[in-house]
Amino acid sequence: MSKSLRLSEKWFHRGLWLVAFLFAWFLTGLGSTIVGDLPRVEQSQSLEDFMDPQRTPALKESIKSAQRVSEEAQAALEQAQLKLQAARADNRAARETFDNWLATRSVTQRSEQDQEVLQRTRELDGLRKLERDALASVEKQQQIALDAKQEEQRAQAELQTLRNAASDTFEQAQHAQELRVFGYRLALTLPLLAVAGWLFRKYRKSSSWPFVWGFIFFALFAFFVELVPYLPSYGGYVRYIVGIVLTVIGGRYAIQALQRYLERQKAAEAQPAQTRQREMDYDLAQARMGKNICPGCERTVDMKDGKTDFCPHCGLCLFDRCGHCSTRKNAFARYCFSCGASAKEPAQEAGTAATT
């Protein structure tokens, strides 16, 4: 059809389609923002909202306290381990020195060194005591860390029990909230789709068709892109059922449209050829002629052989003779391409012109 339009008309037509797409784009942006903000209508809920409101904070505080004590005990344990290592090293060094000294004394057998033996023994006992004290400090911090860890594990286990008990109720509430939000989306998009269908049926060929088609694109996007991803599944039953319903509706509409089209074609073909030719749209007829299709019955006809003047299917005149110069021309052309005479010029004038 675009081949039969004027050049300026083509560009205006493209510009109007651009208007339609821009209108749809802005409407889609607004609709996406609204649909995206719909969940804010519902108060956001979490699993903790369905847990024991008194026991849960206490358990959380107990876990934090145990973790804090465990961290402090771990830091103190590291310090105590360093002190234990130092005490063991001092004790080991002193023990080696004492053993060497005893070996030397056993050779010399000097009795005046007995007092020094006692003194060195007391010093070793003191170092041993320091090592035992450091070991006790390490064991104390290990016990504190172990107690804190066990307390944390006990609180975590009890908290997990509360979470498990509240999970079913939370899932039910979350599912109900999702259904309500979906209901909000459906209440917004379904009327848009209905209005789009009404506009398509009544005003798609009106002078305001760019806005009509823009709104239709927006409604289709809002329904099939903004709504369908949030469609409840229930194991796939809902989505398949909705798909079946939409397919049946679309199929019924297509079947009825086909039947109406065939009835219109049958009624049109029953009219005289001149009446059909006179009432036919000029641009549509030119577009179909350019595709080797009969403008009346829309069946394929070989129009390039130079001999076919009438449709062999419905009898519609496709080519006739110019009333002025008798040139074979398109029967739907308004002027002769050879002499420029009007197609409405009577045939007898053509005969007179041929005689003169």
Per-residue pLDDT tens digits for 288-323: 888 888 888 888 888 887 788 888 888 888 888 888
Which of 38-42, 105-109, 201-205, 227-231 shows the lowest mean pLDDT across its residues?
105-109
- Mean pLDDT along residues 214-231: 81
Q: Give 222's DSSP letter.
A: I
pTM of the model: 0.50
Q: Which of 34-43, 106-115, 140-149 has the lowest mean pLDDT?
A: 106-115
Query: How wide is the angle at C-alpha 144 spanned by C-alphas 143 and 148, nearest 5°?
Result: 115
Q: How far is C-alpha 131 from the chain's CA centre?
A: 67
Question: Are 207 and 213 within 8 A, CB to CB?
Answer: no
Per-residue pLDDT of 98-107, as tens digits, reads 676 666 656 4
Nearest to 289 by CA among 278, 303, 275: 303
DSSP single-letter state for residue 294? -
Q: Virtual CA dihedral for 62, 64, 69, 71, nearest 10 degrees? A: 150
Average pLDDT over residues 324-339: 85
Q: What is the gyration radius of the CA atoms in the chain, in angstroms?
A: 48
Residue 91, CA distances (Å) to 118, 125, 128, 139 in order = 16, 9, 6, 19
β-pair partners for 320 = 329
Percentage of the residues of the chain whose pLDDT score is greater than 90: 0
Q: Which amino acid is at 318?
A: L
184 vs 165: CA distance, rounded Å: 30
Query: 98-112, 231-245, 259-273: which has the highest mean pLDDT?
Result: 259-273
- Does the CA dihedral 72-78-79-84 come out positive or negative? positive
Give the Å distances, CA to CA, from 305 to 113, 285, 301, 319, 338: 140, 19, 10, 12, 19
Arithmetic mean of pLDDT, 324-342: 85
Match 């344990």 to its residue by tokens. 77
Calpha distance 48→39 (Å, rounded): 20
Please compute the mean of the pLDDT values over residues 232-246 and round it to a whole number. Answer: 72
323: nearest Cα among 353, 347, 355: 347
- Of the two residues 349 and 157, the one the predictor is more confident about is 157
pLDDT of res. 351: 38
Q: Taking residues 248-267, what's their average pLDDT?
A: 83
Measured between alpha carbons, how far is residue 109 from residues 95, 103, 114, 240, 356 in Å? Answer: 20, 10, 10, 106, 168
The pLDDT confidence band at residue 354, using thresholds 50, 70 and 90, is very low
Tokens 């006692």 belong to 118
| Ranges 22-36, 103-117, 222-236, 258-272, most confident | 22-36
Q: Are 19 and 206 in contact (CB under 8 A)?
A: no
Query: For all residues of the chain together, what is the average pLDDT?
Result: 78
Looking at residue 117, its pLDDT comes to 64
Please choose, from the candidates 349, 347, 324, the residue with its C-alpha nearest in 3D space to the C-alpha of residue 337. Answer: 324
Tokens 């057998």, located at residue: 109
Contact 8, 205 (CB under 8 A): no
Give the whole-angstrom CA distance, residue 49 versus residue 57.
12
- Please check whether residue 237 is in contact with residue 243, taking contact to mean a CB–CB distance below 8 angstroms: no
Average pLDDT over residues 161-172: 83
**pLDDT surpasses 60 at 4:** no
The pLDDT score that the predictor gives to residue 355 is 37
Q: Quickly state the pLDDT bin for 7 (edges 50, 70, 90).
A: low
Average pLDDT over every residue of 260-271: 78
24 Cβ neighbours under 8 A, 6+ residues apart: 213, 214, 215, 216, 217, 218, 221
